[in-house]
Amino acid sequence: MRKNGIITIFVLIAVMMVLTACSGIDVSKIAGKWHVETINGKSAREFAEENGYIEAAVQKVVTVSEDEVSIACIIGDTYTESKGKTVVRSNGVEAEIDGILFGFTYDEEADTLSYILEADGSQYAYIYSRGEYDFSEVNFNYPGDADDATGAEAADDATGDEAADDVTDAVEDDAE
């Protein structure tokens, strides 16, 4: 009988460990605002400049709470914010926003969120750090632009670089 009791205790411990592991991340660890730190290993500013954009064209602010995930960004010359219901996962959160599933993975050691965007056969690895990006200070006018386009649209029109245009289009599509 004593052997059965020990086996029962080990089984209960194993079940508790499995249930704890499957319960999902504690959202309070990742609650708050996050902004794009890097894209494909380059700072958001470097990535934008290398592709002929202003940083705001590739920047996003993700806000995570127990109830919802929101993403704020600039599309063209318009600030936009979209929201979706938070779904807790074991290593982060997901939210369906405007028909797109955003899965953010939390790296506790680095205290970062990550998101992989696949668009037009390319993959873009976004790393988010805590904090906000101040969109209000962005100057959308591009001096010397013949058609007086503004914001990401000006950068999109001015690059002549299809790969760079794909990234801005994908970023814009994600937020629409």
What are the tens digits of pLDDT across the range 44-94? 999 999 999 889 999 999 999 999 999 999 887 788 899 999 999 999 999
**The total number of structural domains that make up the chain:** 1
Distance CA 91, CA 94 (A): 10
**pLDDT value at 14 more than 80:** no
Is residue 89 included in any domain, yes or no? Answer: yes
pLDDT at 23: 58
Q: Tell me, what CATH number does 124's domain have?
A: 2.40.128
Instruction: Tell me the CA end-to-end span of the chain in Å, nearest whole number.
Output: 64
Handedness of CA 161, 146, 46, 125 (dihedral sign): negative
pLDDT at 17: 42
E-strand stretches of 86-169? 87-89, 92-97, 100-107, 112-119, 122-130
**pLDDT value at 131 more than 80:** yes
Distance CA 40, CA 139 (A): 25
Q: Where does residue 131 fall: left (phi above 0), alpha (psi -120 to 50 degrees), or beta otherwise?
A: left
Is residue 79 included in any domain, yes or no? Answer: yes
Which pTM was predicted? 0.67
CB 74 within 8 A of CB 152: yes
Is residue 4 included in any domain, yes or no? Answer: no
Is residue 9 included in any domain, yes or no? Answer: no
Domain with 59 in it: 25-175
The share of the chain scoring above pLDDT 90, in percent, equals 53
